[in-house]
Amino acid sequence: MYNTEDRYDITAKAMSALSRLKQNKNEKTSVMEHQRNKKVDYSKFIFEEFDDDSYENKIRVDSLFYKVLLSNLDESYCEKVRSILTETLETARQIYEKINIKPKIYGFNSISIMNESDALLEKSTRRIINEFINQRYYSISNEQRENLYLERSKPIARKLILDHDSDYDEAVKFATKTLVVEDLIHRINFPQTIWGKIEELKNDNDNLFNQDHLISLIDTFENQIQSISKIVAAII
């Protein structure tokens, strides 16, 4: 049994310990909040906020990329691809709006393109596309292509073999080209710095907006570009 003095002493120690725990918790919360604010401030320093004009400017150049990509496509497929592209552009816009980041144009300085004609811009997009496809497919060895794409190509190749009785080598070749086009279209919509931020927000449990909605938009976008890539891969 505790006497009255012992009980007071135990109570005082308990209250003191509780006070220290609360203080430590408050300090930890304060530090976390400070770090979160620093991250947000840093992000704002790197990325400008979304605005309609910048996205319209991006669509102007992205449309030229797609014009070049589809230039050799059979007309019977063009209508279907254009329909998916329209949906893809809208999904990409929603992602940019969701993360509230100014769209970035792949391969171009956003200021320099203001004074360029569509003809010159189209010439530049053709060069960028050719360089990307060569660096990822035509100008590298089989071993390098396998390192880049073999694992990702297996599900596509397997489906071609099972559904269409395709030759294994041809199936892998087509699957690889599909992934090259997919990566290119992905890059056109979201250059690496932008996509890195999207991935960060996708996996950041501290963000303040509906993360599930962002993930849903990303899934929709990736399904759309996969559909386009399977058609375009046949002509590269």
Q: What is the pLDDT of residue 26?
A: 54
Q: Which residue has the tokens 């559904």?
A: 163
Residues 109 and 167 in one domain: yes
Residues 126 and 18 in one domain: no
Q: What is the pLDDT of residue 27?
A: 54
Task: Indicate the number of domains in the chain.
Answer: 2
Residues 25 and 127 in one domain: no
Residues 171 and 206 in one domain: yes
End-to-end CA distance of the chain: 88
Q: Is 178 exposed, middle or buried (0-12, 13-18, 19+ CB in 10 A)?
A: buried
Residues 138 and 30 in one domain: no
What range does the domain containing 9 cover? Answer: 1-46
Residues 31 and 108 in one domain: no
Of the candidates 128, 66, 91, the one whose C-alpha atom is nearest the C-alpha of residue 218 is: 91
Name, in order, each residue with C-beta under 8 angstroms of 145's C-beta and a sequence gap of 6 or more. Answer: 136, 137, 176
Residues 5 and 61 in one domain: no
Name, in order, each residue with C-beta under 8 angstroms of 236's C-beta and a sequence gap of 6 or more. Answer: 133, 137, 177, 180, 181
Residues 122 and 11 in one domain: no
Residues 183 and 136 in one domain: yes
Where the chain has pLDDT below 70, the residues are 1-45, 207-209
Q: What is the pLDDT of residue 113?
A: 85
Q: What is the pLDDT of residue 208?
A: 65
Q: What is the pLDDT of residue 187?
A: 97
Q: What is the pLDDT of residue 16?
A: 55
Residues 143 and 42 in one domain: no
Q: What is the pLDDT of residue 109?
A: 82
